Structure 1
Amino acid sequence: MKSFYIVLCCLSSFIHGQLTWASHSTSITIQSVQGDVSFELSNMNDISGISLAIADLGDDDTSEIIIGNGMGLEPRVHVRRQDGSDVGSFLAYAPTLGVGINIAACDLTGDGYNEIIVAPQRGGGPHVRIFDRFGDAIDDGGFFAYGETMRAGINLACGDLTGDDQAELVTLPAAGAGPHVRIWTWNDGAHLFKNFFVFHMDDRSGLVGIIHDTQLILAQQQTTSPIWKTLVIHSSPTTISEETLNIDGLGIESLAFYDDELYLSTSSTATLYNVTRNSTSQLDQDHPVLATDTNQFFIAPGRLLFDGDMAEQKIEIDISDQRLYAFEHGILRNSFLISSGLNNATPLGIHSVLEKVPLVHYAWSYGENDARNYDLGWIPYNLRFYPHIYLHYAPWHNNFGHQMSHGCVNVNLTNIQWLYEWTAVGTPVEIKSS
């Protein structure tokens, strides 16, 4: 086992210097575009975003707001009334699944009540779960929509495609996977109804979709010029229109129909596209998620999805936000708070992972009996990206999100374990200040 001794940069509990405090929110706001609904959801974070659906889960003809936790949080589904009051919540998967979840709601069983459908975002397997309006599972443990090793994430669409007043579920591989559309019907369980590729099978831009008036609208996700196809589902899927739309973001975040008009938000800007009218407007937040019912148009913070660099792996650290982003082929895989160097001591620029070191002994002596001397012991999980500067585990503090060290990048145990396993030697590391 290879180890190194004496690294000055990483002391973080006993040093003095100018602190730069980054601001990090633990709540998000869900609001209607009309301005008559707005409430906060606590115990969130400022990067993971949420997934959002609007559906009546009761008998009062009033829609509830259904929220799926984002990346880095437990896979919990929340149900709120439109005044923000809590109806309840439930876990869709084991609490350790922290990849984020996508949700949809529709009357899949034909019983007159909407079900809640859940699928993991990128990093999770294609394991789809179906719950009744009370949050009780009705799916006998769920089903795998694609091969169990797939990790691109699943986008969802749900609605009536056949005109029988019973909804179908459409599973759509997210960015990084092929354009393999699967349509499921319910008959004492989910059964595969249609199965086809909507674009060339080698296309890896991923799919987003929505159902409206028994038509299925599908689009490429990770592209600045997505191709749109509108299909009807009869004996076989039939494309009835196709067009290309140029957008100002790196991909599509969310789709919604409102007043029979199709809207789109992008993965990296605050632009709201009215696709039907070929017009745009500006929202007050980047990459929002959209959800609508007959009377309301809701927006909420979505997840940053894409980066313009299509490298196989890339680590980006923004010292202004004290946050690390890990990208795969331009797709965000993970993000979490870090602690970089005091006085901006962490070197800006483009570096690379030079070495993965299982153990490093962080110690330094300024001289005999000097109060600044320290010995922090042998620390696991170290990624060297600069001479004597590492990304590494820091068990001596829990103040991530603020500058703390002499120059190294401090990470908590859960995140450094993930990063150490995920990262290959040679992976680019970009340190920037936004």
Structure 2
Amino acid sequence: MKHFLRSGSLVAMCAAGFLFFGSVARAAQPLVSAPEYTRKAQVSVWQEGIGSRSTFSTFEDAYMQGGYLASGDVNGDGKDEIVIGSGPGRKNEVRIYTTDGKLIKSFQPFVWNYQGGVRVAVGAVDGDAKKEEIVVAPASGLEPVVMIFNDLGQKQREALVYGKDFRGGVRVAIGDLDRDGKSEIVTSSGPGGGPHVKLFNEKLENKGMDVFAFDASMQDGVSIAVIKTMWGDQLVVGTEHWSSPLIRRYSFDQQGGRLDKEFYVFGATSTSGVSVAAYDLDGDGVDEIAAWQNGETVPEVRVFDVYGTLYKKYLLHDPTYRGGLSLTSVQSDGDARSELASVSVAPLATSQTNAAKYIVVDISEQRLYAYERGREVKTFLISSGVTKHSTPIVDTQVSEKIPVKRYRWIYGAGNPDNYDLPNVKWNLRIYGPVYIHGAYWHNNFGHRMSHGCVNVHYTNAEWVYNWADVGTPVSIRE
């Protein structure tokens, strides 16, 4: 591995003996900010054949994290509306637009300070043939609650659909999968949860028709869509991130779900996952499957039939874009063929390595980020080296794990920088004499304090020590 070290060489690396007991600073969860991953939340409505499009803006121009789309006739006027839920990093909001971009209604479904994104689906949940309901769920960072709203933004019902402590987000879809004349609400979990897909009735009561869409040990998230087929509504699922981009199609009856077809839609070694949407490409009343990857690659959408035969490939954003997409099929011009609406959205992950685990230490933020399978799993404040004993800027790796260690350095008799710190727990050697380790002698995390090592509160030090492996990549950045 190549190493880069700034000028001002390594000197006597490790913890400073300063004593300070102050408040611990707090920072918001970081958002993707690199230009290749971010775009305005501008909706494009692509006409038949993806040859031309109309566009309209949704959230404020300065907001660059996108949103999540759904469509349907929510106000009973006989025309489809486009519904968008906000992406991460802004107040949670659902907006309802006409297909030409006129704002009809907006509402905030979750607590005022939640900013993790809003997943949306639209369908006739209560059996009303005129008005369809809006189903929402948190994209990540909130308990796994699903809510049903009407077109006025009035909440009709809500229920927890997975364990209350799960924070990986919920995906939602709507369709009459068991062909009983009533639509079901379908849920799946985001990364960190299992592949447990659930079906609920209009009262958000589980119908007892759950399926494990993939191997039960898979925890990379499941994307879902309901498609109309010659056999009725069926469920399409995809591995959302890190796992090979596999699509499966399930049919249902009163006894539950049955796997009917599976196929890979991108290279089997890709770690960008796959999202899915229904799209009637040829206007025959039977949906095709639109599939795309969730960031870190070109924004290409591939359209397949229900057997996995590739029909078309479309580039729905500029080729330099490496973020995610959200798509929904919509009737915007009154003919038999569907149009496809798209919007950018923050990617699920911006993996800068193919390693299953890696650590980033950000000196400017005084913060450590731990990533697993491309996604942030934990972040906390640290204390890096003071200016005259700065922590090296380097790409390296964990080379040794030492449970208890003594740190000692003598600069000269009576020198105030001398230190001797015995019995320091949770030590990860990362670069020569530089360690990530616990610090019991101060509580001033978020500020430079050490002689070059990365000081960590004992609780966090124990966590990262047990989580990291020898060989885990570490990137120290300014």
TM over 0.5: yes
**Residue matched to 2:436:** 354
CA distance in 2, matches of 1:422, 1:57: 51
CA distance in 2, matches of 1:245, 1:385: 50
- Percent sequence identity is 22
**Residue matched to 2:374:** 330
The one-letter code matched in structure 2 to 1:192 is: N
Q: In the comparison of the two structures, how many residue pairs are matched? A: 364
**Residue matched to 2:137:** 119
Matched, 1:182 2:198: yes
SS at match of 2:57: strand
Answer yes or no: is the 8 Å Cα contact 1:67–1:103 preserved in 2: yes
Matched, 1:88 2:105: yes
CA distance in 2, matches of 1:333, 1:380: 20
Matched, 1:300 2:352: no
1:31-42, aligned counterparts within 5 Å? 31-33=44-46, 34-42=52-60
Matched, 1:255 2:301: no
**Residue matched to 2:218:** 203
Cα pair distance change 1:421/1:390, threshold 3 Å: closer
Structure showing greater radius of gyration is 2
Provide Cα deviations, 1:99-138, integer angstroms capped at 9, x if missing partner: 2221111111112311111111233221111111111000
Match of 1:162 among 143, 162, 178: 178
The Cα shift of 1:22 comes to 7.9
Provide Cα deviations, 1:237-268, integer angstroms capped at 9, x if missing partner: 34252223142552335322222221111012
1:238-249, aligned counterparts within 5 Å? 238-247=257-266, 249=270
Provide Cα deviations, 1:134-170, integer angstroms capped at 9, x if missing partner: 110001xx21101111222211111121334431101
CA distance in 1, matches of 2:113, 2:447: 24
Provide Cα deviations, 1:298-352, integer angstroms capped at 9, x if missing partner: 11112211333321x6337699xxx9976343224699xxxxxxxxx98353476
Matched, 1:309 2:355: yes
The one-letter code matched in structure 1 to 2:201 is: T
**Residue matched to 2:325:** 288
> Please, which moves more after superposition, 31-40 or 49-58?
31-40
SS at match of 2:210: strand
Matched, 1:50 2:132: no
**Residue matched to 2:300:** 271
**Residue matched to 1:221:** 240
**Residue matched to 1:130:** 148
The CA RMSD over aligned residues, in Å, is 4.2
The one-letter code matched in structure 2 to 1:72 is: G
Matched, 1:28 2:41: yes
CA distance in 1, matches of 2:238, 2:188: 10
Answer yes or no: is the 8 Å Cα contact 1:356–1:384 preserved in 2: no
Answer yes or no: is the 8 Å Cα contact 2:87–2:117 preserved in 1: yes
Provide Cα deviations, 1:352-400, integer angstroms capped at 9, x if missing partner: 682466998xxxxxxxxxxxxxxxxx96534889927899xxxxxxxxx
CA distance in 2, matches of 1:125, 1:257: 28
Cα pair distance change 1:26/1:152, threshold 3 Å: closer
Answer yes or no: is the 8 Å Cα contact 2:123–2:183 preserved in 1: yes
**Residue matched to 2:205:** 191
The one-letter code matched in structure 2 to 1:256 is: A
Provide Cα deviations, 1:285-309, integer angstroms capped at 9, x if missing partner: 4321111123321111122113333
The one-letter code matched in structure 2 to 1:258 is: Y
CA distance in 2, matches of 1:143, 1:429: 41
Cα pair distance change 1:357/1:126, threshold 3 Å: same
Answer yes or no: is the 8 Å Cα contact 1:225–1:244 preserved in 2: no
The Cα shift of 1:202 comes to 1.6
CA distance in 1, matches of 2:226, 2:271: 23
The Cα shift of 1:4 comes to 6.2
SS at match of 2:140: coil
Cα pair distance change 1:383/1:109, threshold 3 Å: farther
CA distance in 2, matches of 1:64, 1:304: 25
Answer yes or no: is the 8 Å Cα contact 1:44–1:73 preserved in 2: no
Cα pair distance change 1:329/1:60, threshold 3 Å: same
CA distance in 1, matches of 2:17, 2:92: 39
Answer yes or no: is the 8 Å Cα contact 2:239–2:275 preserved in 1: no
Match of 1:148 among 146, 152, 164: 164
Answer yes or no: is the 8 Å Cα contact 1:358–1:381 preserved in 2: no
Answer yes or no: is the 8 Å Cα contact 2:139–2:168 preserved in 1: yes
The Cα shift of 1:50 comes to 1.5
The Cα shift of 1:41 comes to 2.5
